[in-house]
């Protein structure tokens, strides 16, 4: 029997092996359980886990108590516990809210709402006032069936917005195109958010590597949003997504992009049906084993409408907040949302409930 506080010997995990955290705890309960050697912190906390499921050759069939982890699997479990580096210099230790600014005429939820740069800049400032920690600016819709946009048009839409809002906050740019990436970084962006995980444009990895910008690598079935929903099939969607992301992180490192500059996104809705999305949300902690912060975007998406019975995307606010909370409780670092005020409020109240005290109480005491 090995206590949870035992410092596991550094051995390589088994090939193609995964350790999946189970029995999650939050807030004060997580702190107490870790202090009592009954749990381990997930990515340094504040979530903790009390059990583990081992997946791979020779893995036990049943979930295990942490004290019963076999020696050959201990490194895989340890990988889940290590604190992650601060992504793009942002605050760590709580889920951050990334506000969406779509400068597009055809995005699924808010296309055409921001017809010009002035409106988009005003909307960005409003999201910051509502509680956004950073902004994600996009000039090309990547909804299923959307037509591609040239880098020239994409830059025309977003660059004035990036230049102005970069004066106020950290800016992420949602693009697949290397030319747009370079122009946006020159305009003040600090993060590249690529739904293709640097597969779409052969020059993209070089742009990110030489810029020292941070990058978000997302899973998408195939590499074309127009066709990603046509033939959606998986064996185990969670393991396939996790393996894809791990491979893309390793590839990006080989291109000269340091791992501490990389975050991963499971790509909710990008080549997934409702059951796939729910499985990914339920088992999100497995992705923490990759060793990168997790970015999560499910705001107003179709599966929320299917679950709630709400057809119009802009009326899926409550469902979107519920999904954001579920993701935050599973170790996600950044939540990408349309409805910033509602999400930020929910996170503040949730944190207070989990701590069992009013904000600032410990400092005042």
Q: Which of 143, 316, 330, 336 is catalytic?
A: 336
Q: Which of 261, 283, 301, 316 is catalytic?
A: 301
Spatial neighbors of 233 by CB under 8 A, at least 6 apart, are: none
CB atoms < 10 A from the CB of 256, how many? Answer: 12
The closest of 99, 84, 107, 71 to 291, measured between CA atoms, is: 84
Report strand pairing: 48-55 vs 262-265.
unpaired
CA distance 29 to 354: 8
Q: Please, which contacts does 323-326 make with residues 24 or more away whose CB atoms are closer than 8 Å?
A: 323/281, 323/298, 324/95, 324/296, 324/298, 324/299, 325/350, 326/281
| Residue 301 annotated among the catalytic residues of the structure | yes
Which burial class, exposed, middle or buried, applies to 311 when counting CB atoms under 10 A from its CB (0-12, 13-18, 19+)? Answer: exposed
Encoded tokens for 240: 């396939």
CA distance 329 to 352: 14
Spatial neighbors of 270 by CB under 8 A, at least 6 apart, are: 142, 195, 218, 219, 220, 221, 225, 228
Residue with tokens 């959606």: 232
Helix, coil or strand: residue 199: coil
CB 181 within 8 A of CB 156: no
Q: Which residues are catalytic?
A: 301, 336
């Amino acid at each position: 029997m090995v206590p949870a506080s035992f410092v596991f010997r550094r051995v390589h995990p088994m090939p193609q092996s995964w350790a999946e955290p189970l029995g999650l705890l939050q807030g004060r309960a997580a702190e107490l359980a870790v202090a009592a050697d009954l749990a381990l912190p997930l990515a340094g906390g504040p979530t903790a886990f009390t059990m583990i499921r081992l997946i791979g050759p020779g893995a036990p069939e049943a979930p295990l108590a942490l004290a019963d982890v076999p020696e050959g699997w201990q490194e895989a479990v340890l990988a889940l516990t290590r604190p992650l580096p601060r992504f793009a210099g942002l605050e760590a230790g709580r889920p951050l809210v990334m506000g969406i600014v779509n400068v597009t005429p055809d995005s699924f939820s808010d296309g055409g709402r921001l017809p010009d740069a002035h409106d988009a800049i005003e909307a960005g400032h409003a999201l910051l006032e509502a509680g956004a920690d950073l902004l994600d600016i996009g000039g090309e819709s990547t909804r299923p069936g959307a037509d591609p946009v040239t880098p020239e048009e994409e830059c025309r839409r977003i660059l004035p917005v990036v230049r102005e809002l970069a004066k106020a906050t950290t800016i992420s740019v949602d693009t697949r195109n290397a030319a747009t990436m370079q122009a946006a970084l020159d305009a003040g962006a600090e993060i590249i958010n690529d739904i293709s995980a640097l597969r779409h444009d052969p020059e993209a990895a070089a742009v990110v590597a030489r810029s020292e910008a941070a990058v978000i690598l997302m899973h998408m079935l195939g590499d074309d949003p127009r066709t990603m929903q046509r033939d959606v099939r998986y064996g185990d969607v969670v393991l396939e997504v996790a393996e894809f992301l791990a491979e893309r992180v390793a590839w990006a490192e080989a291109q000269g992009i340091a791992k501490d500059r990389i975050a991963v996104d499971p790509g909710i809705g990008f080549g997934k049906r409702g059951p796939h999305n729910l499985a990914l949300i339920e088992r999100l902690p497995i992705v923490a084993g990759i060793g990168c912060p997790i970015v999560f975007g499910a705001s107003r998406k179709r599966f929320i409408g299917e679950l709630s019975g709400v057809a119009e995307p802009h009326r899926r606010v409550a469902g979107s907040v519920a999904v954001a909370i579920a993701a935050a409780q599973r170790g996600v670092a950044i939540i990408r949302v349309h409805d910033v005020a509602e999400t930020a409020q929910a996170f503040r109240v949730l944190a207070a409930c989990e701590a069992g005290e009013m904000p600032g109480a410990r400092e005042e005491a």
